[in-house]
Amino acid sequence: MKSIEWIGGKVRFIDQTKLPTEEIFIETDDLAVLSDAIRTLKIRGAPALGVAAAYGIVLATQHLRTETLQELSDAVDRSASQIAHTRPTARNLFWALERMRSVCRLNTQESATQIHQRLLDEALAIHTEDREMCAAIGMYGAEVVPDPAVILTHCNTGALATGGEGTAQSIITTAFDQGKKISVYVDETRPLLQGARLTTWELQKKGIPVTLITDNTAAFVMARKKVDLVVVGADRIAANGDVVNKVGTYNVAIIAKEHGVPFYVAAPTSTIDLGSEHGGLIPIEERDPIEVTEGFGRRTAPEGTNVYSPAFDVTPHPLITAIVTERGILRPPFFDSIRSGLRRGNEGAV
Ligand code: MRU
């Protein structure tokens, strides 16, 4: 399933807020519409945000008739700044914007027409690379999945969240496609229910046995049932291996440690932020309280209730067994393996 694509000068994407009951696609050539879609989680998931951000730059500049390269470069910067203000946490969004900006910076001798083409090519390359990274993550990650395997996951990390077949979810589907007997516990993922609405929808479509649990059931499941591994995605990974992911991931990691269950994180290297020494330095988005008190239209707390709603949390690196990237599986000590992983090609375990 293509959750986002570039078609004839427009971006086409599935409105994830309508799932699982309605499959509605939106097509736009307007950066304001795309930015709003990111802000409201119609498009969501770190790698998909990177792809959307890149296409957003093309949307904003494709019809601009500029006299000079400087004017085009200024327009790219302005649209990048607009997109950068949509959501603050996913590294992939900023990584993609930086790649788009560098197209102007690195090709100063070219005409504006050539740069327009280069911007589109770069956005399409970011999308293609993301698809390939998802496939490689699936391949490397499937190696750590036993047969049979009971897997627990949190949030949504599938085709909806990426430009390809997913990160953590690509590991699940690749192992399944290899013929392994897989079943998955999916955390509902409060408050926006990415697990309940999106992950179950995607896994069911693939015919993978899935059991939905409320977030607070994970400990009991690990105590009473056999869970072989946890696998989750990431929105940003700090230089020391601390992982920022959907709020509740930290809880799952603690519970997994307590029960001796391996805890894997899957993400492309575009999610890694060497500029953040540790997770405490990563900006954590706070969402509108209404998503907690009136999620999906029903009031569940009294008017005026004080709410704290971070969209993400930080899982400290000692709780993480390994990080699966498109360049292989990175193991502790992450400070070293992340650096050597970034230096190497797609060669496997580090
Ligand atoms: O707020 P969201 O739905 O964009 O958060 C998404 C997540 O936390 C995912 O786990 C993460 O982006 C990895 S997606 C492959």
- Total domains in the chain come to 2
Q: Same domain for 183 and 289?
A: yes
**CATH number of the structural domain spanning residue 62:** 1.20.120.420
134: tokens are 């998802």
Phi, psi of 27 (to 5 degrees): -120, 130
Q: Same domain for 193 and 276?
A: yes
- On whether residue 323 sits in a domain, the answer given is yes
Q: Same domain for 167 and 287?
A: yes
pLDDT band at residue 68, thresholds of 50, 70 and 90?
confident
- On whether residue 218 sits in a domain, the answer given is yes
pLDDT band at residue 225, thresholds of 50, 70 and 90?
confident
Q: Which of 245, 264, 285 to mutate to test ligand 1, by most ligand atoms within 8 A of the CB atom?
A: 245
Tell me the CA–centroid distance for residue 111 and ligand 1, in Å.
38
Q: Same domain for 181 and 313?
A: yes
172: tokens are 């699940």
Domain hosting residue 189, numbered range: 140-343
Q: Same domain for 49 and 144?
A: no
Tell me the CA–centroid distance for residue 232 and ligand 1, in Å.
9
Q: Same domain for 17 and 57?
A: yes
User: Which numbered atom of ligand 1 lies nearest the CA of 312?
Assistant: 8
| Position 315 pLDDT exceeds 80 | yes
- On whether residue 235 sits in a domain, the answer given is yes
The Cα-based distances of 175 to 130, 135, 183 in angstroms read 20, 12, 11
Tell me the CA–centroid distance for residue 161 and ligand 1, in Å.
7
228 catalytic? Reply is no
Q: Which residue has the tokens 């230096």?
A: 343
pLDDT per position as a tens digit, 228-257: 999 999 999 999 999 999 999 999 999 999
pLDDT band at residue 269, thresholds of 50, 70 and 90?
very high
Tell me the CA–centroid distance for residue 49 and ligand 1, in Å.
9
Q: Same domain for 316 and 214?
A: yes
User: Which numbered atom of ligand 1 lies nearest the CA of 90?
Assistant: 12
pLDDT per position as a tens digit, 78-127: 999 999 999 999 999 999 999 999 999 999 899 999 999 999 999 999 99
Report the pLDDT value the prediction gives residue 1, as an integer from 0 to 100.
Answer: 83
Report the pLDDT value the prediction gives residue 345, as an integer from 0 to 100.
Answer: 67
3 in contact with ligand 1, CB cutoff 6 A: no
Within 13 Å, how many C-alpha atoms sit on residue 319's CB side?
A: 21
pTM: 0.97
CA-to-CA distance for 56 and 32, rounded, in angstroms? 9
**Which of 93, 115, 134 finishes a domain?**
134
- On whether residue 332 sits in a domain, the answer given is yes
- On whether residue 100 sits in a domain, the answer given is yes
Tell me the CA–centroid distance for residue 73 and ligand 1, in Å.
30
pLDDT band at residue 349, thresholds of 50, 70 and 90?
low
Which amino acid is present at 188?
E
Tell me which of 130, 187, 215, 235 is the catalytic residue.
235
- On whether residue 349 sits in a domain, the answer given is no
CA-to-CA distance for 56 and 34, rounded, in angstroms? 7
Q: Same domain for 104 and 155?
A: no
Q: Same domain for 300 and 208?
A: yes
161 in contact with ligand 1, CB cutoff 6 A: yes
**Which of 75, 105, 134 finishes a domain?**
134
Q: Same domain for 181 and 125?
A: no
**Which of 70, 105, 134 finishes a domain?**
134
- On whether residue 49 sits in a domain, the answer given is yes
Q: Which residue has the tokens 């519970």?
A: 255
Q: Same domain for 268 and 231?
A: yes
Q: Same domain for 262 and 313?
A: yes
Q: Which of 92, 194, 230 to mutate to test ligand 1, by most ligand atoms within 8 A of the CB atom?
A: 194
Residues 331, 349: contact at Cβ < 8 Å? yes
Q: Taking the mean position of all CA atoms in its chain, how far away is CA 246?
A: 10
Strand 243-246 and strand 312-315: the pairing is antiparallel
169 in contact with ligand 1, CB cutoff 6 A: no
Residue nearest to atom 6 of ligand 1 (CA): 45
Report the pLDDT value the prediction gives residue 158, as an integer from 0 to 100.
Answer: 98
Residues 62, 124: contact at Cβ < 8 Å? no
165 in contact with ligand 1, CB cutoff 6 A: no
- On whether residue 348 sits in a domain, the answer given is no
Phi-psi region of 6 (alpha: psi -120 to 50; beta: other; left: phi over 0): beta
Residues 189, 156: contact at Cβ < 8 Å? yes
